[in-house]
Amino acid sequence: MKTTNFYQDKHILILGLAKSGSAAAKLVQQLGASVVVNDKKPYEENEAARQLEKCGIKVVCGAHPLELLEGIHMIVKNPGIPYSNPLLVEAAKRSIPIVTEVELAAQISEAPFIGITGSNGKTTTTTLVFKMLEESNKKPLIAGNIGTVACEVAQSAKADEVIVTELSSFQLMGIDTFQPKIAALLNLFEAHLDYHGTKEEYAKAKANIFKNQSEGDYAVVNADDAFVMGIAEQYKGKIVPFSATKQLKTGAYVRDGYVCFNDEQVMKVSDIVLPGQHNLENILAAVAMVKLYGGSNEAIHKVLTTFTGVKHRVQFVGEINGRKFYNDSKATNILATKVALSAFSQPIILLAGGLDRGNEFDDLKPSLEGVKAIITFGQTAEKIERVASEAGIQFIKRVDNVEQAVPAAYELSENGDIILLSPACASWDQFKTFEERGDMFIQSVHKLK
């Protein structure tokens, strides 16, 4: 871990706990800061707060009193807390810096970073890069939204290792010096508008992954997304494109049935076991990053001929009487569901619905052609039903939750059908996480068996 005097005798407020808040609090205390932790969850129910107290860290629970800002030099906030929080609004007025724990990781890490963001495909791509570099003996570590909190990983990372980090727009809004050696922006879709307000603000947050890069760094970007390319061109990193639809002069692409990087054939596309056009995009992005970091073709081939996917991301759950069940609970927006639907040629029964973020679902309509029935649930049920009806889907049924949706879908299904959970919505109206939603789907399928 790099030594820094930046936090010595500073007063730091950690806003929000969970894993990232706890890790950040312990780290800045170790670096010599006076730390106060503030979390909305009541003290009696807050095990994480009580554990921090045992470490000699002051905790304030149950509310966000503005008095906490007195004498504070910096706030390290949980990524999920919006900047509209009154405490953060007042902090901004007082010009108190607000960062996320990724910034702490950047300040102390001896290892370089590979940063990966985008609206969809982050986890699959991050996992692929990690596995390919591991097979190449490049000593990767994995952090961020996947794996361990970045500032925790960075504390023990060595200079000959590399931290492969999945990054959300929420995390990227709170960086100052974070500079990944290789940064990837996979795609951009209108998402998280309840947090960011507009697509422009969302894009601005994602673009932060490039903002500190120099001419010696690399920006891996989707050449099939003009908006993404336009963002990357505003920064200093060397652009390395990838494309699943056209041949490129440089970067990662498909030519004559091969995955290629620059002019080199890496492996046959037909040897890849991960299905779907969307996954081909993720694969090409991963190949570009791994080749830039010196990974081997042999390692890439080994991973892509054995890796079948990440849990909750078009995950095959099982087959019952000729019906195949897929869990795509990670599809928290329309684009992700469109991508999942495009992966299948068989008739589909779609399970969709969840948190209402204020958007409509008309963009989903063209992708519903192969959907024979739809089961809805959650706050957005009525909106999705309207679009399904306009798309000509005859069988539309509303249920209370995912657990009820599985047997309802089975009743409408026939041999050869795909039963797909791909909600097109966040899960927070009924679940704490999309993982919890996906686990309920998996349990319901097993119960049906």
- Residues contacting 263, CB < 8 A, separation 6+: none
Is 121 annotated to bind a ligand? Reply is yes
Instruction: Examine residue 228 and state whether it is found in any structural domain, yes or no.
Output: yes
Mean pLDDT of 163-186: 95
- Buried-state track 422-440, b at ≥16 Cβ within 10 A, e below 16: bbbbbbbebbeebeebbbb
- Per-residue exposure over 255-274, b if at least 16 CB sit within 10 Å of its own CB, e if not: eeeebbbeeeebbebeebeb
Residue 46 lies in a domain: yes
Residue 109's Cβ-side half-sphere holds a number of Cα atoms within 13 Å equal to: 30
Under 8 Å between Cβ of 372 and 348:
yes
CATH (domain of 223):
3.40.1190.10
* Inside any domain, residue 65: yes
- 157 closest CA partner among 175, 143, 172, 137: 143
Q: Are 74 and 213 part of one and the same domain?
A: no
pLDDT at residue 192, rounded to an integer: 57
CB 342 within 8 A of CB 278: yes
Please compute the mean of the pLDDT values over residues 93-99 and round it to a whole number: 97
In a domain, 270, yes or no: yes
Decide if pLDDT at 415 tops 90: yes
Task: Evaluate if residue 189 carries a pLDDT over 90.
Answer: no
CA distances (Å), origin 58, targets 30, 185, 222, 434: 14, 38, 45, 32
What is the reported pLDDT for 120? 85
Tens of pLDDT along 132-141? 999 999 999 9
Q: What is the span of the domain harbouring residue 41?
A: 11-99
Do 121 and 244 belong to one domain? Answer: yes
Q: Residue 197 — pLDDT band, cuts 50, 70, 90?
A: low
Does 144 share its domain with 283? yes
Please name which of 126, 123, 113 lies closest in space to residue 210, comparing C-alpha atoms: 113
Same domain, yes or no: 321 and 295: no
- 187 marked ligand binding residue: no
Q: What is the pLDDT of residues 283-321, one digit of tens each?
A: 999 999 999 999 999 999 999 999 978 889 888 889 999
CB atoms within 10 A of CB 346: 12
Q: Is the pLDDT of residue 145 over 90?
A: no
**Residue 46 confidence class, pLDDT cut points 50, 70, 90:** very high
Q: What percent of the chain has pLDDT over 70?
A: 98
Beta bridge partners of 185: 117, 221
> Does residue 373 fall inside a structural domain?
yes
Q: Which of 76, 99, 122 is the C-terminal boundary of a domain? A: 99
3-state secondary structure (DSSP) of residue 420: strand
How confident is residue 194, by pLDDT bands cut at 50, 70 and 90? Answer: low
Q: Based on the structure, what is the number of domains in the chain?
A: 3
pLDDT of residue 196 exceeding 60, the answer is no
As to burial, measured by CB atoms within 10 angstroms (0-12 exposed, 13-18 middle, 19+ buried), residue 34 is middle
Residues 136 and 195 in one domain: yes
Last residue in a domain, options 304, 337, 363: 304
Q: In angstroms, what CA-CA distances link 111 with 1, 65, 154, 227?
A: 9, 38, 7, 31
Residue 323 to residue 337: CA distance in whole angstroms? 19
- Tell me: is residue 332 an annotated ligand-binding position: no
- CA distances 178 to 14, 22, 55, 162, 170, Å, are 19, 20, 28, 14, 14
Q: Does the annotation place 122 within a ligand binding site?
A: yes
The span from the CA of 104 to the CA of 125, in Å, is: 24
The last residue of a domain, from among 99, 132, 163: 99
> What does the DSSP 8-state code read for residue 242?
E
Same domain, 117 and 262: yes
Kindly report the average pLDDT of the chain as a whole number. 94
Answer whether residue 3 is part of any domain.
no
By DSSP bridging, strand 315-320 and strand 371-376 are unpaired
Contacts with 233 (C-beta within 8 Å, 6 or more apart), sequence order: 239
CATH code, 423: 3.90.190.20
- 3-class secondary-structure state, position 153: helix
- 111 and 251 both lie in a single domain: yes
Residues 6 or more apart in contact with residue 294 via CB below 8 angstroms:
136, 138
Structure tokens given for 17: 């706990």
Residue 436 inside a domain? The answer is yes
Whether 132 and 258 share a structural domain: yes
Q: Is 131 annotated as a binding residue?
A: no
Taking only the tens place, the pLDDT of each residue in 49-88 is: 999 999 999 999 999 999 999 999 999 999 889 899 999 9
| Domain match, 267 and 411 both | no
Q: What is the CATH number of the domain that holds 61?
A: 3.40.50.720
Mind giving me the DSSP string for 277-289?
HHHHHHHHHHHHH
The reported pLDDT for the residue numbered 191 is 55
Q: Based on the domain organization, do 300 and 404 belong to the same domain? A: no
Residue 52, token pair as written in the block: 């921090």
Residues 321 and 362 in one domain: yes
Tens of pLDDT, residues 218-274:
999 999 999 999 999 999 999 999 999 999 999 999 999 999 999 999 999 999 988
How many whole angstroms separate alpha carbon 301 and alpha carbon 36?
49
Q: Tell me the DSSP string of 247-270.
A: --SSSEEEETTEEEETTEEEEEGG
Can you read off the two tokens belonging to residue 221? 């970007």
pLDDT value at 193 more than 80: no
The mean per-residue pLDDT over the stretch 409-438 comes to: 96
pLDDT value at position 449?
86
Q: How confident is the model at residue 111 (pLDDT cuts 50, 70, 90)?
A: very high
Token pair recorded at residue 166? 């999945």
Residue range 361-391, pLDDT digits in tens:
999 999 999 999 999 999 999 999 999 999 9
What is the number of helices (H) and of strands (E) in the chain? Answer: 16, 20
Q: How far is CA 386 from CA 249, 342, 391, in A?
A: 45, 21, 9
**pLDDT 10s digits, 346-357:** 999 999 999 998
Has 294 been labeled as part of a binding site?
A: no
237 and 369, same domain (yes or no)? no
The answer to whether the annotation marks 120 as part of a ligand binding site is yes
The answer to whether residue 296 is domain-embedded is yes
